[in-house]
A = this chain, B = another copy of it.
Amino acid sequence: MAKDKKMVESITARDVDFAQWYTDVVKKAELTGYTSVKGCMVFKPAGYAIWENIQSELDRRFKESGVQNVYLPMLIPESLLDMEKDHVEGFAPEVAWVTQGGLNELTERMCIRPTSETLFCDLYAKDIQSYRDLPKVYNQWCSVLRWEKTTRPFLRSREFLWQEGHTAHATAEEAEERTLTMLNVYADFVEEFLAIPVVRGRKTDKEKFAGAEATYTIEALMHDGQALQSGTSHNFGDGFAKAFGIQYTDKDNTLKYVHQTSWGMTTRLIGAIIMVHGDDDGLVLPPKVAPTQCVVIPIRQKAEGVLEKAEEVTAALKAAGIRVKLDDTDRSPGWKFADQEMRGFPMRIELGPKDIENGECVLVRRDTREKITVAISEAAEKAAELLETIQKEMLERARTFRDEHTWEASDYETFKKTIEEKPGFVKAAWCEDRACEDQIKEDTRATSRCIPIGPAGEAKEGAVCVCCGKPAKKLVYWGRAY
């Protein structure tokens, strides 16, 4: 048992050192590996399988909303990156440059895509001539590269995996509608599939994407009270269209610029899952995204009939569509329990000679540790129900946590004190002046996370800016962030 305990003990407690806890979980759950390529990470099977589940579900939702997948080159010639002014200013300092191809120096250097707006614009400029060619609602799954200085698994890495949608529309209204449609696809996905509640809002001008007219975001709250931007959707207006000359002949025979959007989600979502749901025993995966949903662990597996019965239960769960594994290795049950908990599989089934005698087995929830004894004949049915319950309650718990860590402040002293002492979001009114936003960041290291969509984002009648005291216009979520 000393060895069993050791496995668990070697994780730092969340409340002692959250950053170290995170690193420990990522390592012990074998989500990522180290590599000789500085700043980059290896997605190991357990980590990549989570991404595969995210990808498959998100892709299904995309296609339902009319998205088509494509694949564009990973290299961008410098002249193409340079075409939109804000965009190149935003990205040029953090790209990797290819200067040699084969045995020759290139006449024009190319960067590895940090994002593909310019490539999509290049394609659309060629492919869009008429209103009949619109809309284009394309997406690609790929990896991108940004030359980050400090990196952390999933949260900040030079290379990461993502999807990037890029669309072109006939009108500004249609572009805005697509921008918000995708924001809602993201928000629903994160809440329903990852059991993470989010705030849907608009970024301030300071925080918006390089080249965008408006950036929308979903913001989630991690266990340590820091925010994580979990998906963004941008409305470009016709800025890129003008820079790249993307025009179409409308029904009235006049030449018009298209209106564009882009939207992306990344492997950073895996970091969010870890930091919202994990606990001091390791990872806790919501059932829907868990590559393994249940582990069957035989107790005294060498006793007659135990392994056989465990195999039977495993087969029954599998037949019910549950992603289940039987752990019949030669480790002790205690080791297997700790291992299952560390890896975050949502439930396990314990099954020993005595249980079998009684025709029973024990379902154990990863999230609450609750043990539920059920008839073996009903194990699959009860396990399926339990997985649904776990999914639902994980979202509820995360929402309660988020709500209990969302504060309000109407004067600057309270604001600063809250940011400093109470981890979480702080809701406070703002005059819309960039100077106040800068001041707040300098004083507190908090940034504007978003302005909620709709009436919730408007400052109340008579409210004043939390920083300067002048009349406020917007209600903003502020917080320290990853």
Contacts and interface: CB of A to CB of B under 8 A. Distances in A.
Interface in A152-201: 159, 161
A455 interface: no
Given A33-B123, A33-B127, A40 B73 contact: yes
A468 interface: no
Interface string A98-120: 11111100000110100000010
A72 B112 contact: no
A99 B100 contact: yes
A179 B298 CA distance: 35
Interface in A189-228: none
Contacts of A96: 75, 98, 100-102
Contacts of A127: 33
A334 to B, nearest CB: 19
Interface stretch (A137-145, A256-264, A405-413): A137-145
Contacts of A35: 72-73, 119, 122-123
B97 A99 contact: yes
A296 to B, nearest CB: 19
B93 A103 contact: yes
Contacts of A122: 35-36
A49 interface: yes
A269 to B, nearest CB: 15
A79 to B, nearest CB: 8
A71 B42 contact: yes
Contacts of A99: 97-100
A477 interface: no
A75 B96 CA distance: 10
Contact of A37 (B44, B119, B142, B149): B119
A77 B147 contact: no
Contacts of A42: 70-73, 123
Number of copies: 2
Contacts of A80: 36-37
Contacts of A45: 68-70, 138
A189 to B, nearest CB: 19
A122 B36 CA distance: 7
B33 A161 contact: no
Contacts of A76: 37
Given A96-B100, A119-B37, A126-B34, A112 B74 contact: yes
Contacts of A147: 101-102
A395 to B, nearest CB: 28
A110 B97 CA distance: 10
A13 interface: no
B68 A43 contact: no
Interface string A41-57: 11111001101100000
21 contacts: A33-B127, A35-B72, A35-B119, A35-B122, A36-B80, A37-B77, A37-B119, A41-B73, A42-B70, A42-B71, A44-B70, A45-B69, A48-B71, A49-B69, A51-B71, A74-B74, A74-B159, A75-B96, A75-B145, A97-B99, A102-B147
Given A36-B80, A37-B119, A45-B68, 8 more contacts: A34-B126, A35-B122, A43-B71, A48-B70, A51-B71, A96-B98, A99-B99, A112-B112
Interface of A: 33-37, 40-45, 48-49, 51-52, 68-77, 80, 93-103, 109-110, 112, 119, 122-123, 126-127, 138, 142-143, 145, 147, 149, 159, 161
